[in-house]
Structures are given as C-alpha cells and as structure tokens.
Amino acid sequence: MSYAARNGKIFHLWWHPHNFGRFTEQNLRQLDEICRHFSYLQRRYGYTSSFISEL
C-alpha cells in the first residue's frame, strides 16, 4: 500500500467478512493497523479509496 501511494498505483485489499471468523480479535487489530496506515498515506500522499466497480 505504501508503494502504491508513493507511486500513484492501486492497492487491492481483498478481505471478506468470513475472514474474521477465526482469530477475530487478532484480525480486528490487523484491520485497525491497515486503516491507520491508510489514513497516514491519505494525509501524506493524498491516497484515496475506491470501490472495485469505480476502477
């Protein structure tokens, strides 16, 4: 995601709700880390989020 933000590329995060079924607490922490990093990239590089249908 960092590389994509710095270079005007797309990063595809593929994560479905059923991925949270096992190790839920660990997966939620990981998702929180991803969201925080995205927020940083958004502030730093103007990185944006899109739906796959928009691409």
Cα distance between the two ends of the chain: 16
Q: What confidence score (pLDDT) does residue 52 get?
A: 81
For 1-37, letters b (16+ CB in 10 Å) and e give: beeebeeeeeeeeeeeeeeeeeeeeeeeeeeeeeeee
Q: What confidence score (pLDDT) does residue 55 get?
A: 82
Q: What are the pLDDT digits (tens) for 11-50?
A: 998 888 787 788 899 989 999 999 999 999 999 999 999 9
